[in-house]
Chains A and B, each alone.
Chain A
């Protein structure tokens, strides 16, 4: 009985309709939170005493970096669910994560690079945090490449799921790289020794941007996953009803 919701969620028509209803509930708050975060980050937050106004890159860099790892964790979890329960909807969700995650990994890398130039004096350094984030991009590209190379969807789902799960090892490496190695990259952004690493006037806009990006990811993922589910289920009766052509 407790698993009824799980099996219901795995039903393609149910997922398609639910995702359609949920999308605006993620999209509009994402827009509002991001606008508030942008105002806070670009206008109201004070200048940093060490990095001057240059630190304001943090308000796009950190949310993009968080989204890049969150999308991978979601992709791997969905791929794992697909592998274990052979759930087509879970595979559709996993496949939909990759392009979103890859695009925000590029944002995290490029904005980090642009931040690094004035602060470290270089656009790129083979630092553990930067290198593991670059490996994340390669994992996304590998996942998408593998899917594209295998014509049979079921085989592509299984093979790419294994790759996604193996790549999970990179996530703790990204997160703890600043603790495990001497890194040029600054330490954890939100907490240092259990305390906030910046004053509330700087922290609140960052939290707003992170919440906005998270909801944006959810909204885009739902739209993409709906398309992916439709593609996999085309020709079925419920899809016929959905596209308004059913007899």
Chain B
């Protein structure tokens, strides 16, 4: 296991590469879902304003 983790001595380059990629993947999922959620809330608010204004 330690042998695998050490990546033949290249661990300071290999693991940060994988961690960064994982971080960007997770960030993309989070931001995309948040963007859709906010767009839905905005649309709902706008509709409520229209209804209360009419």
> Is A235 within 8 A of B10, CB to CB?
no
What 0/1 readout, one digit per residue, does chain B (21-41) give for beta carbons within 8 Å of chain A?
100110111011101111110
Does A64 reach chain B (CB closer than 8 Å)? Answer: yes
**Shortest beta-carbon distance from B17 to chain A in Å:** 4
Q: Within A188-247, which residues are at the interface with B (CB < 8 Å)?
A: 216, 220, 223-224, 226-228, 230-231, 233-235, 239-240, 242-247
**Contact size class for A?**
35 or more
What CA separation (Å) do A54 and B51 show in the bound complex? 61
Chain A residue nearest to B46 in the complex (CB): A234
List, in ascending order, chain B residues with CB within 8 A of A231's CB. 39, 42-43
Residue of B14, B39, B46 near A235 (CB, 8 A) is B46
List, in ascending order, chain B residues with CB within 8 A of A159's CB. none
Q: Which of A60, A227, A247 has the most CB of B within 10 A?
A: A227
By secondary structure, the B interface counts as: helix
What CA separation (Å) do A213 and B28 show in the bound complex? 12
> Is A247 within 8 A of B36, CB to CB?
no
**Shortest beta-carbon distance from A79 to chain B in Å:** 19
A220-B47 contact in complex given A52-B8, A60-B17, A230-B39, C-beta closer than 8 Å: no
> Is A239 within 8 A of B10, CB to CB?
no
Q: Which A residues contact B (CB, under 8 angstroms)?
A: 42-43, 47, 52-54, 56-57, 60-61, 64, 99-100, 103-104, 106-107, 110-111, 114-115, 117-118, 216, 220, 223-224, 226-228, 230-231, 233-235, 239-240, 242-247
Q: Which B residues contact A (CB, under 8 angstroms)?
A: 4, 7-10, 13-14, 16-18, 20-21, 24-25, 27-29, 31-33, 35-40, 42-44, 46-48, 50-51
